[in-house]
Amino acid sequence: MNCKGYLLRFIVVISVVFVMFGADQALAASREIGGYVAQAESRFVRNVWNFIKNFKTWKTIGGHQWKYDQYYYMEPFVFEGSHSAFVDSQDMAYVACHGNFWVMACHDKVADVNLRDCPAYGDLPNGGDLEFLVVESCSTITAFPDPSFDWNGWRHTATGGIFGGLHQAMGFRSLSQSDNGIPQYFANHCRGNDIVWCGWFSAVQEERGWLRSFLGMRYPGYASAIMPQKCKYDRMGSYVADPVASDLLYSVWED
């Protein structure tokens, strides 16, 4: 009885199984989500929780696994001096607060974080890791049509600007209403591995519904997003190498 051929085929099969298992493990890289809540209204707690609760355990999305890792009240140091231990230690951050053009309020309606003055997020050589920033607030994510819009406010320079490694930032360019279905709708799109900013826009549109859209109502607000041109197709399951501050930026918005 000649067993050499069977033995060879057995070894090859076992080798292929181990290679495939190893490849699967390599693809399923761990990614973390942080939730940050203004110390103001209880709806902000619900906004953040209704997103991050979908990632209480590891969820495989494309080539990555995602789970929420931080859930904190907002303070300026979370986004500024200690950003590398908080918002910039995560791969996605979901923020809920009061806001205005460029700014976020950690306490009530005091705008104490200005994104134009913040460090570059996602700047890996300097300890940053953030890829996706979601700010559920009024007007913080200014877009191209807005009077206060300035590309250099977003692009990192010596004075600030959060895009120096960050892939996408999204939120609203107008007054907005929260404590609704947006966080859950957005989570559904993220878990479906949609392009992240497209998932945000879809969530806002789902909350608006066809009737309000038909009537031209702005509820729950007009979505907006900023990103480097090279990152506009990024998903939670796959995204390009980190951009740099000099990369061309891209603005999308509802109107």
Domain ranges within the chain, ordered by starting residue: 29-253
Q: Return the CATH number of the domain spanning residue range 29-253.
A: 3.40.50
Asked if pLDDT for residue 95 goes beyond 50, the answer is yes
Asked if pLDDT for residue 15 goes beyond 60, the answer is no
Tell me phi and psi for residue 233, to 5 degrees.
Answer: -110, 15
Instruction: Dump pLDDT digits (tens) for 191-236.
Output: 999 999 999 999 999 999 988 888 888 899 999 999 999 999 999 9
Please, which pLDDT band fits residue 5 given cuts at 50, 70 and 90? very low
Q: Which two tokens stand for residue 90?
A: 């995560």
CB-neighbour burial class of residue 213 (10 A; exposed 0-12, middle 13-18, buried 19+): exposed
Q: Which two tokens stand for residue 133?
A: 């920033």
Instruction: Dump pLDDT digits (tens) for 154-194.
Output: 999 888 899 999 999 999 999 999 999 999 999 999 999 99
pTM, entire model? 0.88
Q: Chain-wide mean pLDDT for the chain?
A: 89
95 Cβ contact partners less than 8 Å away, ≥ 6 residues apart = 35, 36, 37, 48, 74, 87, 104, 133, 134, 135, 136, 137
Return the percentage of the chain with pLDDT > 70, whole number.
89
Helix axes 42-52, 182-191, angle to 10 degrees: 20
Q: Cα separation of 218 and 211, whole Å?
A: 12
* pLDDT at 216 (0 to 100): 82
